[in-house]
Chain A
Amino acid sequence: MSETIKIQFRSADDTTHDVEATIGKSVMEAAVMANVPGIEAECGGCCSCATCHVFSLTQWGEPDEDEDAMLDETASPRRDQSRLSCQIIVRAEMDGAVFVLPEQQ
């Protein structure tokens, strides 16, 4: 079994979803596998569709150039905390991390 941690998604209406996230997989995959509403992930995680937008309450690294470009075109306006969750790889120290979902993808 792969090692998992707990992370939380918080919907725009403040509903919270505590989900298991597998270390080494993406935050987006954790949301999809837990059926968290509000993460579309239409492209399956290859940084092509900008439909897995989250606001990350803790900064887990900087977006790379591609992600940065995609974030300029998200359906809900970009903020400082904006990330594409398919590009955040789950690490052990993220246990308890909170990701807020935008109103629109």
Chain B
Amino acid sequence: MSSATVHSGGVVIVGASHGGVQAAAALRQAGWLDAITLISDEDALPYHRPPLSKAFLTATGDDNLMPIKPWAFYETGGISLQLGKRVTSIDAARKTVTFGDETLSYDKLVLATGAAARKLPLPDFTNLHYLRDLSDARRLRPALHAAAKLVVIGGGFIGLEVAATAAKLGKSVTVLEAQSRLLARALPPAVSDFVTQMHRNAKSRVLFNAVVKTVEGTGQTACAVVLEDGRTFPAGLVVIGVGSLPNTELAASAGLTLAEGGILVDGHMRSSNPDIYAIGDCAACHNPFSDQVARLESVQNAVDQAKAAARHITGSDEPFSAVPWFWSDQFDSKIQMAGLPFDGATEILRGDPATGAFSVLHLEDGVLRAAYSINRAADHMAARKLITSGQLLDTGCAGNPDQPLKDCLASAPAGPVGNAST
């Protein structure tokens, strides 16, 4: 069969997770009337990913999967949702994408291709798991319920969330972290220590400087994880969470410029080709809050970048400028982060970690740049506003957990005075 190019025109979005779906929704909200085609290589109606390492794994029976939008959203919105289709190539000169034996033309292309789990060079053991998408979670769930001993390689967010879920299910859990503390790149030491203690309180083992050498097994079954220093940890189930790699093959084949491992985009999420945008985990964007080109992996980043791309496609010049924020639920604690880590921060501890509720604030020249909150949602929400506004903080007030953070503004020595009292 010969394949003809279908002239959809309009916007074609590759990838239908948080970023891709939000791009379609934001385009319609902004009044885009032309065609929108949303292509997913998964079969499921696009779904919320964060629960895959938490509530989804705990559940039995009912899938407990939450769609980002219902079918009616795509039908009534005139969004052509193409499920189970993998885009194999982009012809940037002719402005077409090819998936299966179909070729579709576009006016604007949005790449929301996400990232894949970084794989370790290990044999294909059947009880060795990564967790990124629904098919991974569906494979992991029964294995987790059946397992007695779980070894998690990598003390990052996904690994720790799986570890917490497994501990709550009564499993024996060992977390092997190669660095000297958990989440060293994302969290300050006080928060890392709290997270470590939470896992240890649940009887999980957490080991640092634990560099994995190999996983030993018999036939198709992994039996033990072996460290470089020779220590060996028997395992019925191994979950690996050692970061991710952005899906940039399509972008590279289309000749787009890459940076920081992702697709380089400007403040409007436009790649080096003005008709191709990239959003979410796969995009490397200059972040005004860190003044760095960075690739961020979070729902918030994908959603806000999708909105920025949709704005630009529909003719607005308002650039992307959202404060990055992220959350992780482990055991009964909510860890919320706003802003990005940076070097040379002045640190303020707000509250006593021993109480189970505290925040670590990172300031630069008296201005809040990042905040890490454990069970202090009000601090997190206030921090998002304070990082955006860049107002000077009263550090004494900010260090007092009984004072609402949002009220901890310094009485500015210079600048507009307004109705300031003495």
Please report A residues at the B interface, Cβ cutoff 8 Å: 29, 32-35, 42-50, 65-66, 68-70, 72-73
The answer to whether the Cβ of B213 comes within 8 Å of any Cβ in the partner chain is no
**Do B329 and A46 have beta carbons less than 8 Å apart?**
yes
Complex contacts, B73 vs chain A, CB 8 Å: 35
Could you tell me the distance in whole angstroms from the C-beta of B112 to the nearest C-beta in chain A?
15
Docked Cα-Cα span, A34 to B72, in Å, equals 8
**Do B336 and A35 have beta carbons less than 8 Å apart?**
no
Docked Cα-Cα span, A46 to B298, in Å, equals 15
**Contact of A35 with B377 at beta-carbon distance under 8 Å, contacts A43-B50, A43-B327, A48-B336 already known:** no
**Do B327 and A35 have beta carbons less than 8 Å apart?**
no
Please report B residues at the A interface, Cβ cutoff 8 Å: 18, 22, 48, 50-51, 66-70, 72-73, 76, 299-300, 303, 327, 329, 334, 336, 375, 377-378, 380-382, 384-385, 406
Complex contacts, A42 vs chain B, CB 8 Å: 18, 22, 299-300, 303
Could you tell me the distance in whole angstroms from the C-beta of B22 to the nearest C-beta in chain A?
8
Docked Cα-Cα span, A40 to B336, in Å, equals 20
Complex contacts, A66 vs chain B, CB 8 Å: 334, 375, 377
Closest chain A residue to B303 by CB distance?
Answer: A42
Complex contacts, B300 vs chain A, CB 8 Å: 42, 49
Docked Cα-Cα span, A48 to B377, in Å, equals 8
**Do A70 and B377 have beta carbons less than 8 Å apart?**
yes
Other than the known A44-B51, A66-B334, what 17 A-B pairs have Cβ atoms closer than 8 Å? A32-B66, A32-B67, A33-B70, A45-B48, A45-B66, A46-B334, A48-B336, A65-B377, A66-B375, A66-B377, A68-B378, A69-B378, A69-B380, A72-B381, A72-B406, A73-B381, A73-B382
Complex contacts, B375 vs chain A, CB 8 Å: 66
Could you tell me the distance in whole angstroms from the C-beta of A102 to the nearest C-beta in chain B?
16
Complex contacts, B299 vs chain A, CB 8 Å: 42-44
Closest chain A residue to B336 by CB distance?
Answer: A48
**Contact of A73 with B385 at beta-carbon distance under 8 Å, contacts A42-B300, A42-B303, A43-B327 already known:** yes
Complex contacts, B334 vs chain A, CB 8 Å: 46-48, 66
Could you tell me the distance in whole angstroms from the C-beta of A30 to the nearest C-beta in chain B?
11
Closest chain A residue to B50 by CB distance?
Answer: A44
Docked Cα-Cα span, A42 to B17, in Å, equals 12
Docked Cα-Cα span, A44 to B50, in Å, equals 8
